[in-house]
């Protein structure tokens, strides 16, 4: 009797779930019709999304997730639907009008989903993890710091770039410049944020701020920070099951990072107790401490900015030299332009300033083209907080709106959008900075720094640091060689940001005096 009762209860529950599912389906169709929506093209799959899951898993093992997703857009359309693992419906888009809606005009229809819980162990409550009022408060706290002239502190950057130049072999030896750029940007970012650099580019005996912590030196801090980010990315991929990824290695790495940043929080709060000690160079942490004396708020927001300030700029610079090594005519024109404006290392012409950097058109075109083909954040997503729609992608011609139900995931690929031939022409996949001379004005089809209310606050900081570094390096070196000639196309490694899987191996030769 008990077995029969259990069977009946199970059958009733299954029937209830089927009825609820049918009811929800008919409800969604009714709302979609009222909004004038039509379904986008659908990627063939099974009801549980296993086919797509195994395809993406295979691509991840081959470090081809970004490229394979871009192939989906080419094969199907700029907006398509697919079945995620467990039968969850997903909309994916590389359509400028849809990104405009997602990030700006319908900003309040979407959120970050479970990102806050996924990233909380390292980043806490910060601008990259929060939605709603919490995000608004974090952005209001940080925004004034990025409107200051001190953000473009080229005197601060000068010492770090000089150290970078010292570390580059001058005799034609092959080296990986990407590794150096990641050291450069963690040094400059910590110097800007904390007032002192962790000195990752210096010898282990010159530990700077880390002599006061147990993190194990600058390399230890950089390693712990990178390890934490790798786990954040894995947690992000697991989405609702993020809590399954929480090993002791991840927890220990977070503790080491927090130890260093907490030390700087204490230093930043000290001038509030003794104002006479606060005079001197602009320090981001101290400026932020003037707005709040909550140590946790300071730590969380500084870590959020450190993550953005380090990896994205290193990614941009690495990609810049990947292309320069494979396009000698671009190197030649860019170096000639820089030397004409700023002179070379032996005969400099005036002080390099942010205003002068902005006036060098070809430098701007070059960086735009690098950001177009290899955006530091190539993939992203949002989750609908209500039943809503995207303006394009539905119907046979892709012109009708697309219905997005509450809780549905919408993924988007800036990488794929930047390579669309109907937007950038038949040579969209080719590296050609001159295209920006022909059309320097781009809207939502060019989004290397996101858009809308969440547009990157540090955009000018990143562009200024990258521009200054490029100018100094091209002043000092007059010839570059590609040391990986069989690798004509970049091999992308996508974590939270993009990097080059095998590094960027080159040779550089100093200009003769």
Residue whose entry in the numeric block shows the structure tokens 């990025």: 146
In a domain, 292, yes or no: yes
Nearest alpha carbon to residue 335 among 120, 84, 77, 511: 511
Distances in Å between the alpha carbon of 296 and those of 264, 289, 301? 12, 11, 9
Is the pLDDT at 274 greater than 60? The verdict is no
Is the pLDDT at 13 greater than 60? The verdict is no
CATH number at residue 242: 1.10.630.10
In a domain, 1, yes or no: no
The pLDDT value given to residue 20: 47
The pLDDT value given to residue 334: 98
- Domain total in the chain: 1
Q: What are 427-436's contacts with CB under 8 Å, separation 24+? A: 429/373, 431/323, 431/326, 431/327, 431/330, 431/369, 431/373, 432/369, 433/330, 433/362, 433/365, 433/366, 433/368, 433/369, 434/365, 435/365, 435/369, 436/364, 436/365, 436/368, 436/369
The pLDDT value given to residue 14: 53
pLDDT tens track for 173-224? 999 999 999 999 999 988 888 888 888 898 655 555 555 555 556 668 888 9
pLDDT tens track for 321-337? 999 999 999 999 999 99
Instruction: Give 91's contacts (C-beta < 8 A, 6+ positions apart).
Output: 40, 79, 80, 81, 390, 393, 402, 404, 408, 409, 410, 411
Q: Report which of residues 410 and 45 the model is more confident about.
A: 410
Q: Token digits for 6?
A: 């259990």
In a domain, 20, yes or no: yes
Lowest mean pLDDT among 339-353, 412-426, 484-498: 484-498
Q: Record the pTM.
A: 0.89
C-alpha dihedral, 411 to 415 to 418 to 421, nearest 10°: -90
Q: HSE on the CB side for 12, CA within 13 Å?
A: 6
pLDDT tens track for 91-142? 999 999 999 999 999 999 999 999 999 999 999 999 999 999 999 988 888 8
Q: Token digits for 120?
A: 């909380």
3-state helix vs strand vs coil in the chain, percent to 5: 60, 10, 30
Residue whose entry in the numeric block shows the structure tokens 């980010």: 229
pLDDT tens track for 239-258? 778 899 999 999 999 999 99
Lowest mean pLDDT among 36-40, 83-87, 416-420: 83-87
The pLDDT value given to residue 386: 95
Q: Is the dihedral of CA 345, 499, 200, 204 positive or negative?
A: negative
Q: Are strands 388-394 and 400-404 parallel, antiparallel or unpaired?
A: antiparallel
In a domain, 289, yes or no: yes
Is the pLDDT at 76 greater than 70? The verdict is yes
Lowest mean pLDDT among 167-176, 188-197, 224-233, 265-274: 265-274
Among 42-51, 56-65, 398-407, top mean pLDDT goes to 398-407
Decide: helix, strand or coil at residue 414. helix
Distances in Å between the alpha carbon of 341 and those of 337, 349, 478? 6, 7, 15
pLDDT tens track for 454-471? 998 888 889 999 999 999
The pLDDT value given to residue 218: 67
In a domain, 2, yes or no: no
Q: How far apart are the first and last CA of the chain?
A: 97
What whole-number distance in Å separates Cα of residue 310 and Cα of residue 318? 12
What whole-number distance in Å separates Cα of residue 280 and Cα of residue 497? 34
In a domain, 468, yes or no: yes
The pLDDT value given to residue 250: 95
Is the pLDDT at 483 greater than 80? The verdict is yes
In a domain, 389, yes or no: yes
The pLDDT value given to residue 3: 59
**Alpha helices for 209-294 (secondary structure H):** 218-238, 248-273, 284-289
Judge contact between 198 and 218, C-beta under 8 A.
Answer: yes
Q: Token digits for 168?
A: 């580059």
Is the pLDDT at 23 greater than 90? The verdict is no
- With pLDDT > 90 as the criterion, what percentage of the chain qualifies? 58
Q: Token digits for 7?
A: 């069977």
What whole-number distance in Å separates Cα of residue 456 and Cα of residue 26? 40
CA angle 93, 95, 97 (to 5 degrees): 120
pLDDT class for 155, splitting at 50, 70, 90? Answer: confident
Q: Are strands 409-413 and 89-93 parallel, antiparallel or unpaired?
A: parallel
What whole-number distance in Å separates Cα of residue 499 and Cα of residue 298? 28
The pLDDT value given to residue 512: 75
Q: How many CB atoms lie within 10 A of CB 62?
A: 11
Q: How many CB atoms lie within 10 A of CB 367?
A: 22
pLDDT tens track for 359-396? 999 999 999 999 999 999 999 999 999 999 999 999 99
Judge contact between 480 and 335, C-beta under 8 A.
Answer: no
Decide: helix, strand or coil at residue 150. helix
The helix (H) or strand (E) run that includes residue 413 is: strand 409-413
Averaged pLDDT, 326-354? 95
In a domain, 184, yes or no: yes
- Whether 456 has a binding-site annotation, put simply, is yes
What one-character-per-residue DSSP string does 364-391 give? Answer: HHHHHHHHHHS-SS-EEEEEESSSEEEE
The whole domain housing 305 covers 7-510
Average predicted confidence (pLDDT) for the chain:
87
């Amino acid at each position: 009797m008990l077995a029969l009762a259990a069977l009946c209860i199970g059958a009733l529950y299954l029937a209830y779930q089927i009825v609820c599912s049918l009811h929800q389906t008919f409800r969604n169709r009714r709302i979609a019709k009222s909004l004038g929506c039509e379904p986008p093209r659908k990627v063939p799959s099974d009801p549980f999304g296993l086919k797509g899951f195994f395809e993406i898993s295979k691509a991840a093992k081959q470090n081809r997730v970004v490229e394979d997703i871009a192939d989906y857009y080419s094969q199907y359309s700029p907006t398509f639907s697919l079945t995620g693992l467990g039968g969850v419906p997903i909309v994916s888009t590389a359509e400028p009008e849809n990104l405009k809606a997602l990030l700006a005009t319908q900003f309040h229809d979407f959120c970050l989903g479970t990102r806050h819980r996924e990233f909380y162990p390292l980043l806490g409550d910060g601008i990259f993890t929060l939605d709603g009022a919490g995000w608004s408060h974090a952005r209001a706290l940080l925004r004034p710091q990025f409107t200051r002239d001190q953000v473009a502190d080229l005197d601060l950057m000068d010492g770090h770039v000089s150290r970078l130049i010292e570390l580059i072999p001058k005799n034609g030896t092959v080296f990986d410049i990407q590794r150096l750029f990641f050291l450069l940007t963690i040094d400059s970012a910590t110097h800007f944020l904390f007032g002192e650099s962790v000195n990752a580019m210096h010898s282990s005996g010159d530990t700077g701020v880390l002599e006061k912590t147990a993190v194990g030196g600058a390399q230890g801090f950089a390693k712990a920070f990178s390890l934490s980010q790798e786990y954040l990315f894995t947690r992000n991929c697991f989405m609702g099951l993020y809590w399954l990824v929480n090993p002791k290695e991840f927890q220990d790495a977070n503790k080491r990072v927090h130890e260093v940043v907490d030390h700087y929080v204490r230093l930043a709060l000290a001038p509030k107790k003794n104002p006479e000690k606060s005079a001197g160079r602009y320090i981001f942490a101290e400026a932020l401490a003037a707005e709040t004396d909550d140590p946790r708020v300071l730590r969380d927001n500084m870590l959020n900015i450190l993550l953005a300030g380090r990896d994205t700029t290193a990614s941009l610079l690495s990609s810049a030299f990947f292309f320069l090594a494979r396009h000698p005519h671009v190197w030649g024109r860019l170096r000639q332009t820089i030397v004409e404006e700023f002179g070379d290392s032996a005969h400099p012409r005036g002080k390099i300033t942010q205003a002068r950097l902005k006036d060098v058109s070809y430098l701007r075109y070059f960086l735009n083209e690098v950001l177009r083909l290899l955006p530091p954040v190539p993939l992203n997503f949002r989750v609908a907080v209500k039943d809503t729609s995207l303006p394009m992608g539905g119907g046979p011609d892709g012109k009708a709106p697309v219905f997005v139900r509450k809780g549905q995931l919408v993924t988007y690929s800036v990488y794929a959008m930047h390579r669309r031939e109907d937007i950038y022409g038949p040579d969209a996949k080719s590296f050609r900075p001159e295209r920006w001379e022909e059309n320097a004005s781009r809207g939502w089809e060019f989004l290397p720094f996101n858009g809308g209310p969440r547009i990157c606050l540090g955009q000018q900081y990143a562009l200024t640091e990258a521009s200054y570094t490029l100018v100094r390096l091209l002043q000092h070196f007059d010839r570059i060689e590609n040391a990986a000639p069989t690798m004509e196309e970049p091999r992308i490694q996508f974590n939270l940001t993009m990097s080059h899987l095998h590094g960027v191996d080159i040779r550089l030769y100093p200009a003769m005096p």
